[in-house]
Structure formats: C-alpha cells, structure tokens
Amino acid sequence: MGADNRITRCLHVVDSRVPFIDVYRFLFRPKWLLFLAGCIAVAVLFVNLGLWQLDRLDQRHAQNDRVRASRHAEPADPATVFSTTAAPAKRDHYRQVGAVGRYDSAHEYLVRGRTVNDRAGLYVLTPLTTGDGTTLLVVRGWVASSSAGADVAPDFPAPPSGEVTVVGRVRAPEKGILQQTKVGRFDAVKRISVGRLASELDRPTYLGYLELVSQQPAADEKLVLIPEPPVEEGPHLAYAVQWFLFAGMLFVGYGIYARREEQGLLSPPAAPASGVPASPASPASPAH
C-alpha cells in the first residue's frame, strides 16, 4: 500500500504540472528562512558551549599533570615561584613550596564559606614572615563553624610561636571582593584576595598563597589540612558530546518539519462536497 500511495502522489504532481523540485520553494519563504536562521544561531551557541567544555577538559588535564608532578617534586624556594608584583604562573599552580619563617598570629584571618568533606567551615589564613622579610600567606587548615553562630569564632589552635618550616601547595589569588566582616576577634573574608590583604598588612607580600601540606614543628591535628584536588577528568567530555548532539538535533527537527510541509503540498486535494443529496435508488420495477 505504501508504494501505491507514493505512485499516486507522483502522478498527482505530474497531473498538476508542478515540478517536484518546486515543492521545496516554500523553504525560501520568510518564516522558513527565519526558522533556519534561528536553528543556525542556536546551533552555533551549542557548538561553542561544547568547545568550551572541551577547553575545560584540557584545563583539567593540565591541572592533573601539575598535581601528579607536585607529589614527586622537591619543594621549591618561595622566591622562585612567587612574586610581590604578579600572581604565580599557571604552570606553578599546585607546585610544592618550602619556606622557613615565623607566623604572625596577630594578623590571622578566617575565610568563610569553605567546605571539607561536605562539612561547612572556615579556612585559617595566617601570614608567615620569611627569612628575607617577605610575607607569605598560608592556609594552615580548615575548622568547622561554631555551633554558637556565624559571628562566633570556632576554637582552633594558635600557630607555633617560634620558627617553623612549612611545605605547601601553590595557589593563585582568588578573584572577587573581600566582603570583610568580624567573626569573634578575627577579621573574616569571603575571598583570599591577596592584593587587598597585602595592602592591609602594609608589608611586602607574595601575590599568592600556600595550602599547608606539612609543617615542622608538626601542626595541631584539630586543624584539618586541605585535601589535594581530585585527579579526575570530571563530566566535561560528556557535556561536550551533549551540546554537539543538541546542535545536530536542531537540524534534524528542521528537516522533519520541512518534510511534513512537503507532504502536505503533495497530498491531493480532498474532493469537494457537491451539496446535492444522493438520489435514492429507484425501486425495482415489478415484474410483468
């Protein structure tokens, strides 16, 4: 039956003297051109989103390489990685640095809104004055928020008072405003914006900070060390494939709608109703 229907439609085109290719002239109507332009614009957006996810995947691969390398590399001197005028280079992110100095507990900060193992809390950020007089900010660890409220400082150990040797991961300054408040007696910030903090300290300060890995004398275990970033690819590849599929589906949908329109143009018109009731069948003449 399907073949018979196609033959009938083709005969209808021939009978009406309309070339088959002319049926698709409707695609050049304004609404169809607008439809196509919209599909192209959205497809370009989806493709760019897919490429952005692939770029994020490349960045994750580079970060994973840096994390793996830092596990086996000897700690570098702070002056070879940090500068007081520029943030550390991306190639040095997560590299381990070793420094000797004294903690400045009088200018200790708390960093709000930080989670470790899905628990809300704060980072303890302490300036370390190195041997040459330059300050290096060190995240000594994480502590859970106080159960007494957000304005109450949690209980955590003070830094050692004498000379310490620290090893930590290099981190770049965080972007954003400080949103500085008070938590107990401590100044608390939302972002580790090293440039702003350096202006408050009013001393030469490296434009970056360390996440503590180890310390001599040993750090108090009540402060939880910041875990290493996970070495995994994340969902970026799957997201990229999804965006590319969405872009392709737009044109599949465009083709389906165009096909339906074409089928409607090729369908034979329905026979008009005559409006004259059918004559009743004549009764059979009686046999003579």
229 neighbors 63 (Cβ within 8 angstroms): yes
117, 155: one domain: yes
Confidence of residue 255 (pLDDT cuts 50, 70, 90): confident
Domain assignment of residue 142, yes or no? yes
Domain assignment of residue 147, yes or no? yes
**230 vs 135 pLDDT, higher one:** 135
106, 181: one domain: yes
Tell me: the pLDDT tens digits for 119-178? 999 999 999 999 999 999 999 999 999 988 888 999 999 999 999 999 999 999 999 888
Domain assignment of residue 63, yes or no? no
177, 133: one domain: yes
d(CA 228, CA 123): 15
Per mean pLDDT, which range of 20-24, 112-116, 222-226, 267-271 is the poorest?
A: 267-271
How many domains does the structure of the chain reveal? 2
Predicted structure pTM score: 0.67
**Residue at token pair 């550390």:** 88
199, 110: one domain: yes
**Over the chain, what is the mean pLDDT?**
85
Backbone angles phi, psi at 115, to 5 degrees: -120, 145
The neighbouring-strand residues paired with 163 are: 102
- Write down the pLDDT at residue 166: 96
- Write down the pLDDT at residue 150: 84
115, 25: one domain: no
The neighbouring-strand residues paired with 123 are: 111, 142
166, 209: one domain: yes
Domain assignment of residue 231, yes or no? no
Backbone angles phi, psi at 169, to 5 degrees: -90, 140
- Helix (H, G, I), strand (E, B), or coil: what is residue 249? helix
Domain assignment of residue 280, yes or no? no
123, 206: one domain: yes
CA distance from start to end of the chain: 48
Which parts of the chain are beta strand (E)?
96-103, 109-116, 119-130, 135-144, 163-171, 181-183, 186-189, 205-216
42, 153: one domain: no
CATH value at residue 100? 2.40.50
pLDDT at 36 over 70: yes
Domain assignment of residue 245, yes or no? yes
- Helix (H, G, I), strand (E, B), or coil: what is residue 169? strand
90, 209: one domain: yes
Q: For residue 95, how far is the Cα from the chain centroid?
A: 24
64 neighbors 231 (Cβ within 8 angstroms): yes
Q: What is the mean pLDDT of residues 78-82?
A: 94
91, 210: one domain: yes
pLDDT at 76 over 80: yes
pLDDT at 20 over 80: no
pLDDT at 288 over 50: no
Confidence of residue 16 (pLDDT cuts 50, 70, 90): very low
Domain assignment of residue 64, yes or no? no
43, 116: one domain: no
Burial 98-129 (b: 16+ CB within 10 A, else e): bbebbbbeebbbbbbebebeeeebbbbbbbbb
- Write down the pLDDT at residue 269: 58
- Helix (H, G, I), strand (E, B), or coil: what is residue 103? strand
Range of the domain at 22: 7-53+236-266
Cβ neighbours around 223 below 10 Å, total: 19
123, 212: one domain: yes
